[in-house]
Structure 1
Amino acid sequence: MFRNGLEPWHLIIVLVVVFLLFGAKRMPDTARALGKSLRILKSETRALKEDFKEGHSGENDGVAHKTIKAAPGESAARQVPVAEPEPETTQR
C-alpha cells in the first residue's frame, strides 16, 4: 500500500486541488513568487558557503570565539562554537 511515497497520480491530484483553490489568475503570480524565493534562497546559501570557506582559512575576522561545553552526560557533539562580538570602544 505505502511502498512508494509519492506516485505521479498523487502529484496530479495535488496540482488539480491547488488550481481549483487559487484559480488560473493567481497561478502565474504564485509561480513567479516561488521562483524568486528559490533564487534568493540559492544565492544566500551560496554566500553562506563562501563565508564558511573564508572563515576557516585561518584569517582572524575580528570576532572572538568560544565553545559552549556540554553538560555532564551530554554528547560532546552538542558542543557548539559561538561567536562573541568584541567589546566596542567609543571615542568621545
Structure 2
Amino acid sequence: MQLHYACRAAKMQLMTALTIRDVPDDTLATLKARAARAGKSLQAYALDVLVGEASRPTLAEVAARAEAEASASLSTSDVLAAIHDARAGR
C-alpha cells in the first residue's frame, strides 16, 4: 500500500497558486463572461487559458528549435551526396 501511494504520488504534478494583481476591469469582465459560457469557474477557465498558452511554443522557441536542427553536424560531403541523390532521382 505504501509503495502504491509513492508511485501514484510520483506521477502527480505539484501545483502552485498564482495571484494576478491589477487586472483591468474590462479584461476581468471578459474572462468572467467566457468562463460562464464555458460552464467553468473563473479559476478553472483562467487555468485552462494558462495551460493552453504554456503548451504552445513561442515563435522564438520554434526558431531556436529549427536553428538547432538546421545546425546538425552535416559535412560538405553529406550535402553533396544529398544533392547528387536528388538529381539522380529526377
Normalised-by-shorter TM-score class: 0.3 to 0.5
TM-score (norm 2): 0.36
